[in-house]
Structure 1
Amino acid sequence: MAGFWKGKTVFVTGATGLMGGWLVKELVGHGAQVVALVRDLTPKSMLVRSGLLNEITVVPGELESLPVLQRAIAEYEPHTVFHIAAQPLVAVAKRDPVGTLKANVMGTWNVLEACRLTGRSNVVMASSDKAYGESDTLPYKETHPLQGRYPYEVSKSCADLIAQMYAATYGLRVAIARCGNLFGGGDLNFNRTFPGVIKATLAGERFVIRSDGKFVRDSLYVKDAAASYMTLGERLAEDPSISGEAFNFSLEQRLTVLETVEMTLNIMGRTDLVPVIQNIASAEIREQYLDASKARERLGWKPRYAMDEAIRETVEWYREHFAAQDHTAGVEPSMRNAVAAR
C-alpha cells in the first residue's frame, strides 16, 4: 500500500470507534486526507486522545441522515468511502433492536445511496462474521448464506445484502469485509472479553465470563483489520471485478472464549486468577470462525500479527493507559489538562 493512499481523500464513518480510530491512524500515516462523519465527539476515543482529530476534517452528523451524508460526499468527493460505523454490541442490540436496525441497516443504505447519487466513490463496507448467522458447517466461507436470527446478526445480514444489491443493481463499486471479533488497544468497552480480562487482571481480580466459556469466537487484531480494509480498498480501485464481493479476514484459529482468556492470563503471568464462569449468556451463536483463503488468494492479504504477539501489544497498551490514568488522577485539574494535551 506504500504510496497508494497519499493525497487521496477518503471518507470514514465510525471514526470514534475502535476499528475506525485505528483505520484513521493508518490512513493518516499513509498520507490520506481523511474526512470523518462524527455523531458524538467521544473524549476517551482513540481519535480524540491520540490527537488524530486535529489531523482530519470532521463532518458532524448521524448515519440516519441521508442529506448530511449526501452533502458531505458530494462536497469532498472522496476516492474511497470506508463505512465502519455501526451499533456493534450484541447485548445492546438485544435490548434495543430498533435503534440497532436504524444505525446498522438504515445507516448502510444511506451511505450507499449517497454514494450512488454522487456516482464517484468506491466503498469498502464493514460487515461481520455475525452476518452468516448460525451454521452447522464451519468455518464460514463467503459462499455461506447470510441468515442472522438475533437482532445484531440480522442487522449485519441485512446491511451486507443491501451492499450487494447496490453493486448488482446500480453498479456501485463496493466491496465487503467480514471480520470476526476485533481486539486491540483503544477499546474502552470493558464488557468485551479482551479489555475486560486485561482490566480485571491488572487489578488483581478474576474475570467473569458470561457464557460457559466454550463459545467459539474468531478474533482479529485491530491493526490487521485496518490493513485488511485498506488492502481491500486498494484492490477495489485496481480491479472493479471484485465489486459486490465479500472477503473474510481472520487468523483462522479456532479458540473458545475460555482458551482466549487463559492465553491472556498466561501472557500476563496471572494464571492464578482463574476466571469465573457465569453461564448466563443467551441469544448468541455458539460457534463462529472464518475461512480467509479467498482474501489470501485474491487479495494477497495475510495477517501480520500472531495471536500471542497481538495480545502482548494489547496488554502493553492497557498497562500504559491505566498508568497514565493513575498519573493524571493525582494532578491538579489545571495541570491534568496540560498532561492530557501532550
Structure 2
Amino acid sequence: MSEENFKSYASKSVLITGADGFIGSHLTELLVKSGANVTALTLYNALGSNGWLDSIPDHIYESVNIYSGDVRDSAQMMRLVDGYDIVFHLAALIGIPYSYEAAHSYVDVNISGTLNLLEAVRKNGTGRFIHTSTSEVYGSAKTKPISESHPIHGQSPYAASKIGADQLAEAYARSHNIPIVIIRPFNAYGPRQSERAVIPTTIRQIFDPQCETVKLGDLSTTRDFNYVSDTVRAFAMIGESNDVNFGTAYNAGSGVETLVSEVVEKLMQISGCKKEIIIENSRIRPEKSEVRALVADSSKLKKITGWKCNVTLDKGVHQTLNWWKSRADNGTIRRNRKFAK
C-alpha cells in the first residue's frame, strides 16, 4: 500500500516514541510522507545522535519535530504527551540476550516507561494510543498459527517485561476508557535492524572482510518474517481504522513459518558467500527460554483493515542485502568497534 492510501493522517498530530529505532524510523518516514505532523521522541544521548532518523532523507528529516528524552522520566512524559491525535509507543529495550543480564533495565523501560506514557495520556488525553507488543509474549507456539487467544508465556525477561506492559495497556483501556490498541508484530526485518536479530547479524558477517566465518546461534527454530514496510503499514492501518476494538491486541504477521536455517541459507546463496557457518554456544538461549516456533494468525487485523504482507521473503531478503551491500561499499558495514572480530 502506498502512502497515498493514508490520507487520513494529513495534518494530524502524531507522536512516535522510539522513532530513532528500526521500526520507529520507518514509521516516521511513512507518516511524514502521508502528511502527518510528526513529533519523534528519541533517546537523549551525549553524542547528539538521533539514531536511524539521522539516515532518513533530508526532506523528510526536516519535517520531523525531534524531541530528545526518556520514557523513564515521568515528569517529562507528562509535559510531552499532551493532546496528540495519535500516539505510537515503540520505545523499548528489545535485545533478548541482554535481558538475561539486565532485567531491571527492561522493567524500568518497558514497564515503568509504558506506565509513564499511559499516565500522561490518562491525564492529558489523546485520540488514540497504539502500544507495541511482540510475538515473543506467546512463547513457543502451542497451536499454529498463533491467534490473539493463544496463551501468553514469558520465556525471557524481555518477553515478561513486554507482557507486563501489554497488561498495563489493556488495564488502562478498561479502567479509564482510553482508546488504546495493542499491535503485536511478528519478526520484522529489513534495513536499519539491529544486529541482535539473525538476518542483519548474518548479512553483516557475510560482507565484513574482517569476519572469516559467520557465527550464529540456534538455526533450528522457526519464525514468521515480515519486511519492515509491511510492518509499518500495519501500524498505520491500525492507527486509522474505525473498527478497532480498544483494549485488545492485533497480530501482524505473514502467516508463513520459515526455518531460521532456511533464511540463513538463502542469504548465503544470494550473496555468493562461501564462509563457514559456526554455531556458537554463547549465541544460544537457555533451553527453556528459547522460543521454538512462531507463526501468526493475523485474520483479526485483516478483517478490520484489509492488511496483508505485500513483500515476499525472497524480495525482502534481496532488498535487505542490497542495503547492507551499499553500507559495505561505503565503508560503514560496522557501526561499532566490537564488531571487528
Q: TM-score range by the shorter chain?
A: 0.7 to 0.9
Mapping for residues 67-146 of structure 1, pairs under 5 Å:
67-74=75-82, 77-146=83-152
SS in 2 for 1:207: strand
Q: Is 1:275 the equivalent of 2:293?
A: no
Q: Deviations over 1:11-43 (max 9, x none)?
A: 010011101110101111111111122223574
Structural mapping, 1:37-48, within 5 Å: 37-40=41-44, 43=49, 45-48=51-54
1:173 aligned partner: 179
Residues of 2 paired with 1:206 and 1:169: CA distance?
53
Secondary structure in structure 2 of the residue aligned to 1:208: strand
2:29 is the alignment partner of 1:22: no
Structure 2 CA distance for aligned equivalents of residues 120 and 103 of structure 1: 21
- Once the two structures are overlaid, the 10-residue window that deviates more, 41-50 or 135-144, is 41-50
Match of 2:325 among 315, 319, 342: 319
Please state whether the residue corresponding to 1:35 is helix, strand or coil: strand
- 1:13 maps onto 2:21 in alignment: no
What residue number does 2:71 align with?
63
Change (3 A) 1:326 1:46: closer
Partner in structure 1 of residue 203 of structure 2: 198
Contact 1:131-1:160 at 8 Å conserved across structures: no
Equivalent of residue 266 in structure 1, options 266, 269, 272: 269
Deviation at 1:136, TM superposition (A): 2.4
Render the CA deviation track for 1:189-231: whole Å, top value 9, x for unaligned. Answer: 33421111111112364321222x1011222111111111000
Conservation of the 8 A alpha-carbon contact between 2:184 and 2:252? yes
Q: Which moved more, 1:261-270 or 1:6-15?
A: 261-270
**2:16 corresponds to which letter in structure 1?**
V
Residues 235-277 of structure 1 deviation map (CA, whole Å, 9 limit, x = unaligned) = 1xx23x511121111121211221111122222233x334222
Displacement of 1:63 after TM fit? 0.6
Do 2:20 and 2:50's aligned partners in 1 also have CA atoms closer than 8 Å? no
TM-score, structure 2 as length reference: 0.88
1:117 CA displacement: 0.8
Contact 1:15-1:36 within 8 A present in 2 as well:
yes
Aligned mates of 1:259, 1:60 — CA distance in 2: 40
* Uncovered stretches (5+) of structure 2, i.e. residues with no partner: 334-341
The question of whether the paired residues in 2 share the 8 Å contact of 1:206 and 1:274 is answered with: yes
CA contact (8 A) 1:174 1:244 kept: yes
Partner of 1:333: none
Give the drift of 1:145: 2.4
CA distance in 2, matches of 1:62, 1:92: 19
2:338 aligned residue: none
Q: TM-score, normalised by structure 1?
A: 0.88
- For residue 151 of structure 1, the aligned residue among 141, 145, 157 is 157
CA distance in 2 between partners of 1:302 and 1:229 (Å): 12
Distance 1:326 1:12 in 2: 27
The answer to whether the 8 Å contact 1:134/1:148 transfers is no
> Is the 1:181–1:219 Cα contact (8 Å) retained in structure 2?
yes
Whether 1:184 and 2:190 are equivalent positions in the alignment is yes
1:247 to 223, 247, 250: 250
Figure out how many residues of one structure are paired with residues of the other and give that number. Answer: 319
